[in-house]
Structure 1
Amino acid sequence: MGEWIRIIDLLQVNHTIESIFTSEYDNETEYFFDVKKAGQVFDDWAYASNMYTYISSLVVVGDNGKVIRYGEDVGRLNVEELLQKDWARKIDQSNGELVWIGIHENYAGIHYRNPYVVSLTKKLDYGGSQALVYISFKSQFFFDKLNTKHDPNNDLFLLDSHNRIVYNRDPSLINQLYENHLNIQSKGYSMITNQSGEKLLAARVTISNTGWSVVETIPYKTLTQGSTMIFKVTTIVFLLSFLVTGFVWFLITSRIVNPIQRLTRTMNRVRGNEQIVRVEIQSNDEIGQLNRNFNYMMERIDRLHQDNLREQAEKNDAEYRALQSQINPHFLYNTLNSIRWMAIIQKADNIREIIEVLGRLLRNTIKMNDTIIPIRVELELLRDYIQIQKLRYNDKFEVEFLFDEEITEYQCIKFILQPIIENAIFHGIEPKEGRGTITIRLFIESEVLWIEIYDNGVGMEQEVLNKLLMANDKKGSIGLINVHERIQRTFGQDYGLFVESECGTHTLVKIKQPVITSIAEGNDD
């Protein structure tokens, strides 16, 4: 029943339908197109729910004289005659409540398909304008809902507020007045005798808010049939079960429980961190097999533990290489993007120069397979990258290098400076008004190599700074996180990136790594 109430609720809240009864139309063409839109709304609803296949007629009549029709029988329905029915004259007294008319003959002129329909009606309030909705749906709805949902030995009647039969498995009884010859209470249960002299248990329940009721009768003999036989069988089964259970329990105690307890004590030793334990139960049954499998499992665990240690070392190496490889496509994308903007902004005047620098940069990057390279080579790659960016940004910034020349012969991880410079340009210098300066300083302090990259750009807020090196945070920098993790995976947690920034003034990124004098030394670390 609730499905039909939801259909009326949809009519109440749909703006397309509401507009038909609240609008003032200058001509019938506008009204025609709005009705077409309403028809599309019904089609959309019908596509989403099979309830609309049961609708015989749906009519909405507004106090502005406008009408919406839907349903397979609505074309043969006379709306003026419909509004003259007794229920239509009384609907004003319903105070806007839903009124179930009940089952009746179809008001449509020709109703050979749906001779009987169930109807309901309600007044809809559209903010000062009102409309009367009338829905009649096929009685087949209750056959499809109820015909397979009750015991075939029982008889079920669905009655409307006028005591007419809305549903029974016998279609010939539909719309017939239900004669209460069974003397059933208005609500409750009764033991009655039908016209054939058969005893029946009858129940009647009233459906709230509709005035409808459900009556079901159950033959008394089906309730008591076989009860004596069930009692005897139950008693025999209980006695046999008791004897069998006692015998089985004896076997379980002597042959299963004790060995299992021994096995359990051995397993508890494993919980006590004993790595190699064995249990000896000499039997060929399932317990013995469980013992042998346990011993095999312990041997496998020991082997797997050793394998896991080896695989973890290989995994760390693979993760390191994967992190390092991420930087190449990231840089290539940004560089090619720079070329594209150069072509647009500079009208291709500097394309040859930037491509030459890019070719040299990519060639040097690809041919170097070592993880650890001299700082001198890293600075050469960085200068090529800076030249590309200075061309792109029309010399918006300058770069200063501060270091002693002998430091360049020490070793560092490949491609750790470019992501930081890229971050300084894109997020520090580019948003800044006027030219900016990036200072790169290298020095050694207490056997630690420090590389500082300072820019006088726009800086960053403390919240962004706190999340900058968090790999699981979307606000983190992919390039900086990559460099930070590669350094820590290579040299340990004491090394990596350290970032300081003040919003509106500067950003300082410090790279900390041990002093490495050769590639072999870096790989050993």
Structure 2
Amino acid sequence: MPLIHFIKNSLKWKSVIIFLLLVTIPSGIIGSIVLYQSNKILKEQIITTTHQNLGNMESQLTNVIKEIEDISRYMIYSQEFRDFMTYPAVTGEDYNHLNQVRSNISGFFVFHQSEKDYFHSVQIEGENKQVLSVGETVEGNEKQWVEGAKERKGEMLWSSPYQMYNQRTGQDEEVVTLFRVINNLYNITEPIGLVRIRLDLQALYQQVTDGFTNEQHQAFLVHNKEQNITSSKFGPDFSYQAIINNIHTEGESFQLESKGDVYYGVSRYIEPLDMHLVSVVSETYILSEMKDIRSTFGYMILISIFMGLMTFAGFVVFVVRPILELTRETKRVEHGDFSAQVKVRSNDEIGQLGYRFNSMVEQIQRLIDNKYKLEIQNKHSELKALQSQINPHFLYNTLDMLRWTARLEKAPNTSKSIEDLSTLFRITLSQGKVWIPLADELKYVQSYMELQKRRLGETFQYAIFIEAGLASSIVLKLMLEPLVENSFKHGFPQSQENKNITIRCYLKGDVMIIDCSDNGMGIDKAKVKHLLHATEEQDSYALKNVHDRITNAFGNHYGIEVIEVASGATVRIKVPWIKDKGMLNQLIEGDDR
């Protein structure tokens, strides 16, 4: 009960409870629901992609099988194949015809072998004892498959994977072969030959899976009876029995384990080859994809909570705090302290309330103060106002009088120096203007350097270069002179005879660059960087003042930076190109123009 009473009488704690009930708890609940649904959808998408890849691979493998079977069908209807297997070899003309047919058939299979990497070799045996072998020369026991094909009497027989010795490479190679007895076209019960079309199993796997497998999605060819698995060299290691058992018990979708990692698998049965085409995806990969989504939504939840905190903080700062301050200052007035004032931070209803409170307290204070104090304060204010109304034209007129007096007395150098000094004063005061044309800024710097040249004589030279069309550009007043002054103060040793300063003004895209270069003893880049971010006043504080003025006006992308040069020092000013006053009014609203 005391806690409820405390919350009931505290505006701050009421705000905290409202924030928890309306922002934090709903954000957590909604974020959890969205995260769960996103993970579920992502997992389904990955499994669906695995099914799609498997379907594409199945289509590829089916096309290969159909293409090989079509070749065997073609042999039945082709006159050349029938001639090769049945034509008698008696006369020389018979041999010539058989050699021509042999050459044509060899060309036919060489073409297929060159077009298909998985096409291993072909062997044709005719009833006329003619034998043709095309492709790799191999040795091996194929007796059981030959007998099986003869028992089928013309039906196609696909073998299970078996080893054949390649005489060219000297290695055993795994093949799968189509065996078929070729029957007479006009007497289908009469066999005229036997054909064997061998396919390289590993090359066939590459052909089928190319473009559909990667580190995350792997595929296998698993024979239904023989303990044989064909896969890539970099895929996960599964036992034959584990895959077959899962296929037989779980169906097309199942789970596997390898080295502690779980894989989701899907399979399709390829009936002609008596093989299963299997595609798997790692659970680790699925979780990693979910991890990215979880991280993203986690960040979103944190951002939403942060934004809620910012909103709550804004509510406390702009609503609760002014009301608490008003309550505190009201108690001061209640105890007779009429100096109480509320800080007005806005023009909304809360700000107007504070403003009215301050006006009320001031009105009460004026009624209490006596007439004598008011009169003394009015006199003091009038005196300060008179002191602040000094007209700078008196100073300009005096300098002009001295300049003309110097000319009359035939002292042109003195007259020129006074004229430069007058230019400095006019631009420095300039009726409180903040923005001036670039031409006036350069004129100010030129007058300053002319005065330095009078002091230093021939030991100092300067040059000013400006790109055409930039003279009327608008810049901040007095942003270039501190750079030149810094060269005299810190850049040139007193003993240096030849002092040079070069100023270049040019455009780089929409940015106006002003480089101030000298041939002095150089500048410490790290020191200048520290200076530009210093809070206390120190030597060359004018550089920081210029940098702060630029960044305050245009942002942190602009300001002062030191450029690496072989000798001397180059300090660069970067400001946006303000072509005229109209563009200035669009760029900076509310500032002095």
**TM-score of Structure 1 vs Structure 2, range by shorter chain:** 0.3 to 0.5
TM-score by length of 2: 0.34
The structure with the largest alpha-carbon Rg is: 2
User: Which gives a bigger RCO, structure 1 or 2 (Cα 8 Å, sep 6+)?
Assistant: 2
